[in-house]
Amino acid sequence: MTAKTLDGKTVAEAVKAVVAAAVPQLGRTPGLATVLVGDDSASHTYVRGKRRDAESVGIRSIHHELPATTSQDEVIALVDMLNADDEIDGILVQLPLPDGLHSESVVERIDPAKDVDGLHPVNLGRLLLGRPGLRPCTPNGVIRILEHYRIPIAGARVVVVGRSFLVGRPLALMLSEKGVDATVSIAHSRSGELAPLTTTADILVAAAGVPTLITAAHVRPGATVVDVGVNRTESGLVGDVDFDEVAEVAGAITPVPGGVGPMTRAMLLSNTIDAARARTGRL
């Protein structure tokens, strides 16, 4: 068996087309502010891509770049300024921040209505309560890929490997929400042997941050495997899934790169439009 490849680039382009069509309906140009602190090369690459994506769909990109020596108070002051700027609908502070800066305090300072990463405690709380709000981009992107390729979610048994607040935990909540209706289990570093659990999954999501953790032995034949891992190794970028091996067992699989990564950026744009609509009353 050779698994069908779930191409995140294709789905991301479809999302971007929807966003581009929505921009003129707002009555003004939406604004996305990005904040980059320090000189981490990967963060610079990510932010360049996000800014390029924003401009390609008609969203104004406002970028603030600060040196690694910037203090916590200076970062907070910048966030406060962006919160007060009516021309800015979304604020993204690129993580991780340099050593010595407290990421959680910075994220919590962002106005929840402009939190297009969907990571503010208010937005995560709304997710927990099943209320509308800005959803975390990567989990949202995972679900959009599954929907695009018509992978059945309702009633499906889903195993998420990884429990981070960035992906694993919010994704589990989103998959189990009313209207999505999956039955979800979370595996993590204290779960013991993974295979007895992961081989029960109709949909297996790998989000542990461990290169090639998931092998063919972890996958039920015909299952859908979504690889959220982004691991930089000497041989290049790899996911949490041994792609070549698992592709011989799974029914469908996302690649790394080109799978969930493009979707994270696309859902950032979608969140920016949602935030702009809410702020202008054009829901």
Q: What is the pLDDT of residues 156-205, one digit of tens each?
A: 999 999 999 999 999 999 999 999 999 999 999 899 999 999 999 999 99
- Characterise 98 by phi-psi region: left (phi > 0), alpha (psi -120 to 50), beta (else): beta
Provide the pLDDT for residue 233: 83
Provide the pLDDT for residue 193: 95
Provide the pLDDT for residue 283: 52
Provide the pLDDT for residue 237: 86
Provide the pLDDT for residue 105: 96
What residue ranges of the chain have pLDDT lower than 50? Answer: none
Give yes or no for a contact between 252 and 225, defined as CB atoms under 8 angstroms apart. Answer: yes
Query: Catalytic: which of 117, 202, 240, 242?
Result: 117
Provide the pLDDT for residue 232: 85
Q: Which two tokens stand for residue 10?
A: 């294709």
Provide the pLDDT for residue 234: 82
Q: What is the CATH number of the domain that holds 202?
A: 3.40.50.720
Provide the pLDDT for residue 147: 98
The whole-angstrom separation of Cα 276 and Cα 19 is 11
Query: Catalytic: which of 16, 50, 115, 227?
Result: 50
Give yes or no for a contact between 86 and 60, defined as CB atoms under 8 angstroms apart. Answer: no
Provide the pLDDT for residue 71: 97
The whole-angstrom separation of Cα 80 and Cα 96 is 19
Any domain includes 239: yes
Provide the pLDDT for residue 49: 93
Q: For residues 107 and 140, state if they share a domain.
A: no
- Specify whether 94 is catalytic: yes
Alpha-helical (H) ranges within 110-186 are: 121-129, 137-148, 168-176
- Final residue of a structural domain among 83, 114, 145: 114
- Specify whether 50 is catalytic: yes
Q: For residues 190 and 254, state if they share a domain.
A: yes
- Final residue of a structural domain among 82, 114, 146: 114
- Domain hosting 237: range is 136-260
Query: Catalytic: which of 53, 94, 111, 227?
Result: 94
Q: For residues 92 and 162, state if they share a domain.
A: no
Structural domains of the chain, count = 2
Beta bridge partners of 203: 158, 224
Q: What is the CATH number of the domain that holds 96?
A: 3.40.50.10860
Q: For residues 108 and 184, state if they share a domain.
A: no
Q: For residues 59 and 98, state if they share a domain.
A: yes
Q: Strand, helix or coil at 268?
A: helix
Provide the pLDDT for residue 72: 97
